[in-house]
DNA sequence: CTTCTGGATGATTGCGCAATCATTTGTATG
DNA sequence: CATACAAATGATTGCGCAATCATCCAGAAG
């Protein structure tokens, strides 16, 4: 077959052509075509090639609706994240999608806007697509969500958090441990006057509480954190910083619930002519790609969300291979000292 | 029915329960259940309620594979973007998804990494899901992509760009016009020594060429732009800036292919003790949420990608209602002067 | 009282494919 | 040369649903 012929043939529509058309052209039965495409090892090399040629000639594109209905597996994985506007979740999502697509799985994205109710609602329509697995962010869900997932038997990964009572699989880290570690770390660096700037999502607040708890254990009293509502953008960071600076005593270090917030703090400090870290130090959370490139480079907590995404994909692929596999992985985290503390 | 009963009932698995089960419980035929759910107006209020109750009692979740196969519409829209790590595309995607989900459509995300070949490959598997429409970023595609789309008859929106020869629908703006406008604008502000810092993706390069073309029309000779390979992050911005500053003559203004790159330029300028804009001015592209919050606030080109996303959704919904509808919309853009120029 | 109309419901069929079981063919073994 | 056995292929069936056409019934019109 010439290249030209192939090019013209392959363009056939996704609508008309079915397995049967391919079978006719190849001179075999429809089921043999199906096998040639999905289980080439059980078909003779000769017929496999005939089928392959026929597929290209008629421009066949398998109908995965029909395939999924018949085989009860959709090669679809639903991934629910609170937002895609934070590089943390964008990176996680990208890595998970890449890992899954290598194994032939497509991803169905859901954005929960940090709301467990929206998560529940998304889940309702998503389950209608009969995904082979579902990835959730966090371990906080509505009871209905938990029940539906438990009853549906779909493999689940809860990501980006840690709990002793997971629905199924788990890839993440303890936000309480992060809060505690940040407090101890900054204390050991000699800071004594602390301020917190957090966004009021579930996980950030848990880091916040652990942070203040640890401070109190260290014998330090600190003013309450400034708490903003999501999303966490530079704007919130600047506003929060202004609020902190308006207080009676200026803190030595500002601990933020995300790098983005911290970046806003840096911008506000620059605007007000404050030197970082000599006048005021700043610590973020997330180690997004920008963090090391800011001026001054941002001290933060490194999570490697791309790795979390990749490990989510791994966990799922393992489960697909072996029903009994159940990955539960505490990724940990790493404190990164740069110029801002 | 008590709340408790409902809660317990609704949790039934997504696997076992079918329309037929609902029909039995409701005491009607399966097809009546289908109608009660999809076309409530043709069913009497009484049976509609009976069905609704039965659905909740048995925890029925419609199988959209079966529904899609039978009705030939999947309520799925595929959206292909080059990356989700730029807020421009993240916002566009989010807005499009929101607009579509309100009308009951789910989105299938594909990330092309700025590669038309990857786009082609993604399209292959995506067409297997028989989406009701496809959204592509840009107007540059492989010939096979064009042919497949043309032949498949699926509604297509090309977004974020402009062309006289669209595949189908079009929502975007002219990148050439942006390049030209930036050159004229900066010229009018009095700048004469220009430098360009661009990333080598198709659309950025077209803005770049138009920019230099316009400069040359204005009688200005400028050194070649520094061209980095994607992705465009702060790091590339800083590196590019260092390269520019190493040249014989320092430019008065640096024009960047994205706000992120520009942000890197600002960071490098700060690091090197250069005042912006007095020592060197900077202009970005995109007006991401951060741009106005940086220090100094970034002059840029405003695109409102969320609006593009919303209009994409509108264009598709219109098409779904009326086969003949074919939106082609030039969104234009807006130059924004802030502190950095 | 008959005929007509239209609203409400049901029966049948097929969407495109893979699982399952059945059959054919080719090859090795005694 | 008969038997066994595996590899390769085919026929049938059902996945869960909506489109299509058919039926039923109540009330209006004549």
Tens digit of each residue's pLDDT, chain B (341 residues): 333 333 333 333 445 899 999 999 999 999 999 999 999 888 888 899 999 999 999 999 999 999 999 999 999 999 999 999 999 999 999 999 999 999 999 999 999 999 999 999 999 999 999 999 999 999 999 999 998 998 889 999 999 999 999 999 999 999 999 999 999 999 999 999 999 999 999 999 999 999 999 999 999 998 899 999 988 888 999 999 999 999 988 999 999 999 999 999 998 998 888 987 899 999 999 998 888 878 889 999 999 999 999 999 999 999 999 999 999 999 999 999 998 98
Strand C positions closer than 7 A to protein CB: 7-12, 14-20
What pLDDT sits at residue B13? Answer: 42
Task: Give the model's pLDDT for residue B41.
Answer: 87
- Scan residues 47-106 of chain A and list those with Cβ within 7 Å of strand C: 60, 62-63, 66-67, 69-71
Tell me what pLDDT residue A10 has. 35
Q: Which helix (H) or strand (E) holds A197?
A: strand A194-199
Assign A202 a pLDDT band (cuts: 50, 70, 90).
very high
Nucleotide nearest to A128 (CA to C1'): D16
Which residues of B in 6-35 have their CB below 7 Å from strand C's atoms?
28-32, 35
Tokens at A94, concatenated: 């990208």
Q: Rounded to the nearest 10 degrees, what angle do helices B45-58 and B19-26 cross at?
A: 120
pLDDT band at A16 (very low <50, low <70, confident <90, very high): confident
Q: Are A211 and A241 in contact (CB under 8 A)?
A: no
How far is B205 from chain A, CA to nearest CA, in Å?
24
Same fold, B74-173+306-332 and B175-301: yes
Q: What is the pLDDT of residue B293?
A: 77
Note whether A299 and A282 are within 8 A (CB): yes
C-alpha B133, offset from chain centre: 14
Domain extents for chain A? 3-62, 74-173+306-332, 175-302
* pLDDT of residue A3 exceeding 70: no
Q: How far apart are CA B111 and CA B82, in angstroms?
A: 5
Residue-by-residue DSSP string for A212-224:
HHHHHHTT---PP
Q: Give the position of tokens 């502000």.
A: B189
Tokens of A56: 């290209």
Say which nucleotide is closest to residue B67, CA to C1' distance.
D17
- CB distance B90–A84 less than 8 Å? yes
Indicate the burial class of B164 (C-beta count within 10 angstroms; 0-12, 13-18, 19 or more): exposed
Residue-level pLDDT at B270 = 87
Two tokens at A175? 């936000």
Closest alpha carbon to C1' of C16, residue: A66
10 Å Cβ neighbour count for B248? Answer: 5
Share of chain A above pLDDT 90, in %: 79
Q: What is the pLDDT of residues A69-107, one digit of tens each?
A: 999 999 999 999 999 999 999 999 999 999 999 999 999
B297: exposed, middle or buried (Cβ count in 10 Å: 0-12, 13-18, 19+): middle
Q: How far is the CA of A15 from the C1' of C17 (A)?
A: 15
Asked whether A145 and A119 are in contact (CB, 8 A), the reply is: yes
Residues with CB under 7 A from strand D: A 28-32, 35, 42-44, 46-47, 66, 69-70; B 15, 18-20, 30-31, 34, 37-38, 60, 62-63, 66-67, 69-71
CA of B33 to C1' of C21 (A): 35
More confident residue, A203 or A5: A203
Gap from A236 CA to chain B (nearest CA, Å): 10
- pLDDT of B15 reads 58
Query: In this complex, which residue's CA is closest to the C1' atom of nucleotide D7?
Result: A42
Mean pLDDT of A276-291: 90
With cut-offs at 50, 70 and 90, classify the pLDDT of residue A289: confident
The closest of B13, B124, B129 to B61, measured between CA atoms, is B13
Q: Whose C1' is closest to the CA of A63: which nucleotide?
A: C16
State residue B78's pLDDT score: 98
The C1' atom of D5 and the CA atom of A71 lie apart, in whole Å, by 30
CATH number attached to the domain at B175-301: 3.40.50.2300
In angstroms, the CA A59 to CA A38 distance is 17
CATH architecture of B74-173+306-332: 3-Layer(aba) Sandwich (3.40)
Among B5, B65, B144, the strongest candidate for a mutation testing the A interface, having the largest count of A CBs within 10 A, is B65
A71: tokens are 């085989």
Mutate to test the interface with A, among B86, B114, B290 (most CBs of A within 10 A): B290
Q: How many CB atoms neighbour CB A248 within 10 A? A: 5
Confirm or reject CATH 1.10.260.40 for domain B3-62, answering yes or no: yes
CATH code reported for the domain at A175-302: 3.40.50.2300
- Give the phi and the psi of residue B327 in degrees, each rounded to 5: -70, 130
Interface contact flag, A234 B290, Cβ < 8 Å: yes
In strand D, which positions have an atom below 7 A from any protein CB?
7-12, 14-20
Does the CB of A37 sit below 7 A from strand C?
yes
The yes-or-no verdict on residue A2 having pLDDT over 80 is no
Cβ–Cβ of A129/B106 closer than 8 Å? Answer: yes
Q: Sorting pLDDT into bands at 50, 70 and 90, what band is A232?
A: confident
Q: Residue B28 has which token pair?
A: 């009607």
Say if residue A11's pLDDT is above 90: no
b/e code A56-73 from CB counts within 10 Å (16+ = b): bbbbbbbbbbbbbbeeee
What is the mean pLDDT of the segment spanning A128-157? Answer: 95
Q: Quick one: pLDDT band at residue A15, thresholds 50, 70, 90?
A: low
User: Nearest Cβ partner of A295 from B13, B15, B270?
Assistant: B270
Whether residue A240 contacts residue A94, with contact meaning beta carbons closer than 8 Å, is answered with: no
Number of continuous H segments (helices) and E segments (strands) in chain B:
13, 12
Q: CA–C1' distance A51–C22 (Å)?
A: 23
Please report the pLDDT score of residue B276 as a whole number.
79
Which of B129, B273, B288 to mutate against chain A (most A CBs within 10 Å)? B129
């Amino acid at each position: 077959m010439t290249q030209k012929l192939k090019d013209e043939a392959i363009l056939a529509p996704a609508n008309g052509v079915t397995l049967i058309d391919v079978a006719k052209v190849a001179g075999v039965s429809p089921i043999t075509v199906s096998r040639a495409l999905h289980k080439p090892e059980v078909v003779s090399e000769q017929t496999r090639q005939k089928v392959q040629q026929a597929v290209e000639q008629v421009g066949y594109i398998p109908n995965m609706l029909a395939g999924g209905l018949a085989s009860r597996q959709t090669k679809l994985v639903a991934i629910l994240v609170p937002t895609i506007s934070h590089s943390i979740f964008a990176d996680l999502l990208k890595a998970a999608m890449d890992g899954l697509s290598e194994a032939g799985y497509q991803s169905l994205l859901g954005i929960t806007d940090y709301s467990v109710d929206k998560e529940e609602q998304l889940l309702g329509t998503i389950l209608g697509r009969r995904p082979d697995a579902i990835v959730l962010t966090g371990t906080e869900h509505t009871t209905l969500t938990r029940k539906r997932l438990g009853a549906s038997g779909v493999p689940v990964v809860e990501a980006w958090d840690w709990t002793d009572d997971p629905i199924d699989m788990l890839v993440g880290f303890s936000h309480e441990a992060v809060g505690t570690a940040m407090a101890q770390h900054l204390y050991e660096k000699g800071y004594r006057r602390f301020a917190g700037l957090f966004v009021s999502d579930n996980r950030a607040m848990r880091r916040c509480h652990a942070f203040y708890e640890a401070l109190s254990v260290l014998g330090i009293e600190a003013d309450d954190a400034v708490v903003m509502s999501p999303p966490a953008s530079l704007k919130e960071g600047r506003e929060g910083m202004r609020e902190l600076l308006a207080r009676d005593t200026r803190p030595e270090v500002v601990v933020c619930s995300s790098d983005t917030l911290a970046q806003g703090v840096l911008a506000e400090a620059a605007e007000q002519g404050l030197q970082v870290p000599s006048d005021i130090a700043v610590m973020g959370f997330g180690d997004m790609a920008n963090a090391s490139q800011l001026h001054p480079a941002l001290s933060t907590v490194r999570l490697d969300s791309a790795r979390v995404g990749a490990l989510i994909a791994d966990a799922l692929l393992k489960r697909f291979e072996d029903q009994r596999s159940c990955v539960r992985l505490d990724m940990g985290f790493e404190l990164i000292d740069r110029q801002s503390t």
